[in-house]
Amino acid sequence: MNNDTLNVIELFAGVGGFRVGLERANRNLFKVGWANQWEPSKKAQEAFECYTRNFQDGEHVNKDIATVPDEEFQRLTADLIVGGFPCQDYSVARSLSGEKGIQGKKGVLFWQIERVIEKTQPKYVLLENVDRLLKSPSKQRGRDFGVMLGTFRNLGYTVEWRVINAAEYGFAQRRRRVFIFAYKNGVAFDLEQQELEPKEIVFKQGFFAKPFPVKENPYKNRENDGEIAVDRVEISDNFSLEFHNGGIMRNGEIYTAHVEPVEMAATPLKNILIPENEVEERYYLTPEDEKKFEYLRGPKKIPRTSADGHTYTFSEGGMSPTDDLDKPGRTMLTSEGTKNRSTHIIDVDGRKRFLTPIECERLNGFSDNWTAGMTDRMRYFCMGNALVVGLIEIMGKRIEEIESINSSQEEIQIELPV
């Protein structure tokens, strides 16, 4: 086993979900040396403050990443870059002089990820995003992810992706996210994977398939292949391929398939609750609250008029008045804790209440009181933005396994006669 450390850069760090998962996988292997967290348009940088409270070592940077100069990244050593980033518009246009593409809006954060990769050349990149990224934008489905894959190909990386619902692999939240793992062409793992067909990688031997097993064949034979153009403007203008929930891009060649998880028993919501005698009265619903949630979660048909005068009926189906304690929790949103249809409402011993901030931390696998020190509203918001850290722990162990391939390859090379 490789005993060296992997130097990690954590981008869009939030309250540190990637770091928590990696350190649980192997604290000695993963060393986060540089982390960036910046919440635009906010005076109080509470997620950053939470991060610095919980992690003492490493360099913590609280500024807009677009303002961090190239020189700062060039001085860093990076083996692994991790981060969850917003789903934005990735349309690409050519400049008036016909030179390098201008990447849509200035604030698109994926271009910052590209810049950091360019300047640091890590072996691995692990990213997380909402699963709709694969079908974005609605008018040209798959274009945005195609542009991303083209970017990685041009940087010299192979990419695997998988949409993972945490509850399907034993966790307490039905949180579905796309995870993207890129590895530099020529590293030991890449040389090993080159021996395999794309389908075998996606279904059996790849980065995701081993720790998150799937059934042997594509669901309803849904699989596609395609190719990525070298020119990102061409990808942006003409890309057309349906991406499924699993896939690989290698040397511009794409294979994607609808994979079905080999499910594990999920953790029920009741398993993450704190004892009722520790729940403060303010988390219980008043009679007025109960009435409001009865309306919010009930079926409705509401006549509405659009800005241009068009009249239509807004329809919404009903949902259970409370969340089932014997099932995993629904996806937690940043609006958790407000009087909102998506907020979890549970009934314990005949009394209805919200989840407490600690219970929301547990839904994502953080330690109790990880976000203590913020207002409740911000604690809920941060957990709605966070990821399920247990998934990252599993991926961290998979990276550790890949590193053992590097070690054995190095040993073989050392033993070869000159």
Which positions are annotated as active-site residues? 87
Cα–Cα distances in angstroms (integers) from residue 69 to residues 74, 83, 119, in the given order: 9, 19, 10
Tens digits of per-residue pLDDT, 268-320? Answer: 999 999 999 999 999 999 999 999 999 999 999 999 998 888 899 989 899 99
Which residues, 6 or more positions from 28, have their beta carbon under 8 angstroms from its beta carbon?
3, 5
H-assigned helices in 194-330: 198-200, 232-238, 287-296
Residues 101, 92: contact at Cβ < 8 Å? Answer: yes
What percentage of the chain's residues is helix, strand, coil (to nearest 5)? 35, 20, 40
- Cα–Cα dist 34/62, whole Å: 11
pLDDT exceeds 60 at position 100: no
Q: Which domains does the chain have, with CATH numbers?
A: 6-264+388-415 (3.40.50.150), 269-385 (3.90.120)
Convert 234-258 to b/e letters by CB count within 10 Å (16 or more is b).
ebbeebebebbbbbbbbeeebbbbb
Q: List beta partners, residue 142.
A: none
Tens digits of per-residue pLDDT, 8-61? Answer: 999 999 999 999 999 999 999 999 999 999 998 788 899 999 999 999 999 999
In sign, the C-alpha dihedral spanning 282, 288, 291, 295 is negative
- Cα–Cα dist 366/372, whole Å: 12
Q: What's the distance, Cα to Cα, between the start and end of the chain in Å?
A: 25
Q: What pLDDT does residue 409 have?
A: 57
What average pLDDT is seen over the chain?
92
H-assigned helices in 28-76: 46-54, 70-74
Tens digits of per-residue pLDDT, 385-403? Answer: 999 999 999 999 999 999 9
Residue 363, number of CB atoms within 10 A of its CB: 27
Is residue 137 reached through a cis peptide bond, with omega within 30 degrees of 0 on the bond before it? yes
> DSSP label at 201?
I
pLDDT exceeds 80 at position 211: yes
Instruction: Give the 3-state secondary structure of residue 101.
Output: strand
